[in-house]
Chain A
C-alpha cells in the first residue's frame, strides 16, 4: 500500500540546520506532486512547501522562504527538506504529503519532530 516515511528530525540549537527526508513506497512517486506541512505543538496545520512531480515547480510559504529548500530524487523515491537558520518558532512536527492530480494531499507520512532549543 502507498506509504510515506519521514526521517531526519531531532533536537537542534537555534541557528542550526537539519535535512528531513521522506521515503515513498507503494505508488509511482514520480507521478506525484509532494509537499511539506508542519504543525507546532497544540497548533493547526501550516503549509510549508510544494514541489511538482518533475521537480521543476517549487513554492514556499513566506515564513520559510530563503531558509528552507525542498527537493526530490525520483530515482530514489525520496523527498527532502533542507531547513536552515532554525528558530524556536520552527519547532513542530513536519509531515510530508502528496497527491497525483487534484492538488490535495491524498497521502501523508507519520511525521518527524523538529525541536529547536538551546
Chain B
C-alpha cells in the first residue's frame, strides 16, 4: 500500500465556516506534510510533522491549524478562510524527514489533494 488518501476530494466553504481536511497513510511513514498549490503554480510547503510533532510552520496564517492525532493521520482545520485561500491542498508523507529525501534514501508520496473553494 503506497497510498496517501485525502478527504474530501472537493470542498466548498463559506468564510464563516469551520471545516477540516483529512489525510491518512498506512506506510509507516514518520513525516507528513501539508502543501498548498494555486493554479499554474508549484506546490508550496505549509507544515511539516515529524514523529507526530510539528517541526516546520512556513509562517502560515492561524486560520489554518494542523493536527497530527497519530502517526497515520494528519488533519488541517480551517476557520474563517478568505477567497484567496482557494487552492488545491496536498498532503504528502515520507519515511523520514528531509535528510533522507536529500540522500535519495526515501521518497515523498503525495495524496490526490483536496480542491478547496472559499466563497
Q: Do the two chains belong together in a single complex?
A: no
